[in-house]
Structure 1
């Protein structure tokens, strides 16, 4: 089913570290309301967005903790933007972690703004595809749940002092 909102998913891989340092987390940035080609064209009410991320499977040592649940939510300026957003993780399924991005009040995306959420993923995460489910309605229309698989853009790793 076609999503009503445009999404952009970017993954910045964790940078390499020295042998004795723990690996750096990957960062998944979910931008809602624009996708790099433009912004939402018609007003859309949004009550909830979920992002399903497959668990890491390449490193058995990381299998017990598939994702680092560290999230960042930006400030919003008005109730039309959802007043305040929360990210609620669900780790009950060992194969996938679901992050629910929930506004305090339904947000109204109208093309004048977008919101980005940052989720840190453990270094064993290898997939570039996530499942997005939105609970949305075209302005004035009935609410519905829509899902789609979205392939992330992998951004180049940057190195900084103290990193290899």
Structure 2
């Protein structure tokens, strides 16, 4: 129980999801900061590609997988495309009586997968190919499985509502 305003007792509604929101938010700030760093370093205020100057002063774009601004932008976008839905699905399952232990495990695994996707995938190389580290596949497929799993678990938790 927590106390609100004038001493009104209120149960905590989604403490597991709230707890895991903090490390996800910190990692999102790390991803955002990398974009800002590359924008300032490369003097690229807009867009998702760095600008490099050749000997004659003409602007050339690097290949996407070798452009650090592009990789940072995609890492951030991939995170933002998946994590909010996962946290929403977790909160819905938790609010409807889902297992706190299961949700802790699921969100911990999701954080590991998202970090692996970026740090061991997009930002690393495999057999000389950039942005294709082994963490990329693990992070992608693991995240997709986690989203389907959380959605299915949330539906299972409320199965009585539908008469099952």
The question of a shared fold, defined as TM-score above 0.5 by the shorter chain, is answered with no
Higher normalized helix content (fraction of residues): 2
| Bigger RCO (CA 8 Å, 6+ sep) | 1
Query: In terms of Rg, which structure is larger?
Result: 2
Higher normalized strand content (fraction of residues): 1
**TM, length-normalised to structure 2:** 0.23
